[in-house]
Structure 1
């Protein structure tokens, strides 16, 4: 079983149920830290509708706070060194482009 994250009919990601639940739960837990909504709508029929503008703003806020921090503990909660210091590309830069039928 799996869940779909999509914009309209465009499938962005199709992880397993457990991974999808972990992702959404983690994203929601960071909403107070980001100060804005994730842009991921409620699950309906195993699908999450994604607002790409809102999700991009949410991610930009989190990445900005991470990059501007010098707090060692906060920085340790982020990603690995080689991942976090690469130029940032769009959240949707590598979507599958598949349309679910």
Structure 2
């Protein structure tokens, strides 16, 4: 059983049920802490809609929150959500993060490697 994520135009990720539910829960919790909408709308049928415009704002805030972080535990908690979110943003056709920041460039490279493990 899976937990598909999709935009209005296309599927962007089809993880295993528990994987999708864990990511969704973490993303929603982080969005709440940052006081920004996640752009993710779960359905009772076990799928999740992704609004690319709202999700792009969420990922931008998440990148800034991560980059400004001074607490090593918080950074590690955010890292997984951020990496998956970068892959989903790319697949949803969202804008790529700005290049030239060493930390962000490293995260984008890591997300690119992770993408190979994320079925659509």
TM-score (norm 1): 0.71
Alpha-carbon distance in 2 for matches of 1:41, 1:62? 18
* Long gaps (5+) in structure 1: none
Tell me the CA shift for residue 86 of structure 1: 4.0
* Greater relative contact order, per chain length (Cα 8 Å cut-off, separation 6+): 1
Give the paired residue count.
Answer: 91
The structure with the largest strand share of the pair is 1
The structure with the largest helix share of the pair is 2
Give structure 1 regions of 4+ aligned residues with deviation exceeding 6 angstroms: none
1:40 aligned to 2:40? yes
1:11 aligned to 2:11? yes
TM-score (norm 2): 0.61
The equivalent of 1:85 in structure 2 is: 103
The 5 Å alignment of 1:8-87 reads 8-79=8-79, 85-87=103-105
RMSD (Å), alpha carbons: 2.9
Q: Deviations over 1:29-68 (max 9, x none)?
A: 1122221111011224332111011111111101101112
